[in-house]
Amino acid sequence: MHLLQVSHLQKKYGSHEVVQNINFHINRGECVALLGPNGAGKTTIIKMILNINKLTGGQILLNGKRHDQMCQFIGYLPQHPTFDPWMTGKELLTFMGGLSNIDKEVLEQRINELLDLVGLGGVKNQLIGTYSGGMKQRLGIAQALIHQPKLLIMDEPVSALDPLGRRDILELLKVIKQTSTILFSTHILHDAEELCDKILIINQGQLLVNGSINQIIEETQQPIFIIQAPRIGEWTHELVNEDIVESIELTGNAAKVRVKNIERGRNWLLRNITRLQLPVQKLELVQESLEEIFIRMVKSS
């Protein structure tokens, strides 16, 4: 049984459908990224899982039960967590643990373990108002984990951080994913590649892609040939309307030729290079990156 099962999820505001028939699942122990440009529907989906936004249609099951009956088993880090600046890190976690009815002795041990895990053990008695942005993000992760949730959900966990803070949080998440099930939204593809077992690409409320990174690249990538030669623009101008060509991008004296079939494309290119006597300086077959797949799919959806 899947830990999280999302079936035919739909959300409407009046006549505007912002989430359209979304289906996916998350297994125990997986780290899954919800990818998409700003406004794609990522936060809306997260808020429906959290039962903050009501469903217009569909169903969400957590551990086999309706998600609105299981919210105590979800840990949540919002995109911009805010905490009372006059509390200490330890006081905040004590308060959050009390809301979850955790036994005091168990809670004390849990707080110390979590603060050490997120690298705040040395500043646990320091006021939150003195914490940096990265420290507050670490504290937010600790509060989301205080009640040992079955699923940790994070909305854009590193988007507001500087490069050093972002790297620290990514390294922390690598540790947390070893013992937790994680769903996080992002528009930074490198983070998804580095952390995740599976990615979901969303645009305009529709699920475009669902699978592992290797599976997605294997199933959706298009062959790309890089050709470098003088007068490359004149040559590609003659070929742009060929049926085998998906697209041609020119940069200086190099062309990136995306074709529909690798074997046919290679034979076609070699024939035309010979026919037009193109003085080729470089001919290379390259693999389409996850970022290129993402951009292509979002533009075409």
In the 8-state DSSP scheme, what is residue 129?
G
- Given this model, what pLDDT does residue 191 score? 83
CB atoms within 10 A of CB 265: 22
Q: What is the dihedral of CA 298, 285, 220, 211, to 10 degrees?
A: -100
CATH class of 221-300: alpha beta
- The mean pLDDT value for 104-127 works out to 92
Statement: residue 190 has pLDDT above 90: no
Compute the radius of gyration of the chain from its Cα atoms: 24
Strand order in the sheet with 65-66: 16-26, 4-13, 57-62, 65-66
pLDDT band at 241 (very low <50, low <70, confident <90, very high): low
Whether 53 and 38 have beta carbons less than 8 Å apart is answered as no
Q: Which of 232, 182, 252 is nearest to 31 (CA)?
A: 182
- In this structure, what DSSP letter does residue 20 have? E
In the chain, where the domains are located: 4-218, 221-300
- What's phi and psi for 136, nearest 5 deg? -65, -35
pLDDT of residue 194: 86
257 pLDDT above the threshold of 80: yes
Report the pLDDT value the prediction gives residue 4, as an integer from 0 to 100: 94
Tell whether the model's pLDDT for residue 216 goes beyond 90.
no
Residue 240's pLDDT is 62
* pLDDT number for residue 33: 93
Span 53-78, pLDDT tens digits: 999 999 999 988 887 777 788 999 99
- pLDDT over 90 for what percent of the chain? 40
* E-assigned strand segments in the chain: 4-13, 16-26, 31-35, 57-62, 65-66, 74-77, 151-155, 182-186, 198-203, 206-211, 224-228, 245-251, 254-259, 282-286
Whether the pLDDT of residue 219 is over 90: the answer is no
CA distance 5 to 49: 10
DSSP summary character for residue 288: P
Q: Calculate mean pLDDT across residues 168-196.
A: 88
**How does residue 276 score in pLDDT terms, banded at 50, 70 and 90?**
confident
Full-model pTM: 0.83
**Mean pLDDT for the stretch of residues 40-50:** 92
Task: Name which of 66-70, 102-106, 179-183, 245-249 the model is least confident about.
Answer: 66-70
**pLDDT single digits (tens) 86-113:** 999 999 999 999 888 888 889 999 999 9
Confidence of residue 120 (pLDDT cuts 50, 70, 90): very high
Across residues 107-124, what is the average pLDDT?
Answer: 92
Mean pLDDT over the full length of the chain: 88
Cβ count near 36 (within 10 Å): 25
| Residue 173 CA: distances (Å) to CA of 47, 97, 149, 156, 298 | 21, 21, 15, 13, 27
**Is residue 87 within 8 Å of residue 159, measured between CB atoms?**
no
Among residues 223, 238, 239, 220, which one has the least CA distance to residue 287?
A: 223
Per CATH, the homologous superfamily of domain 4-218 is P-loop containing nucleotide triphosphate hydrolases (3.40.50.300)
Mean of pLDDT values over 201-208: 92
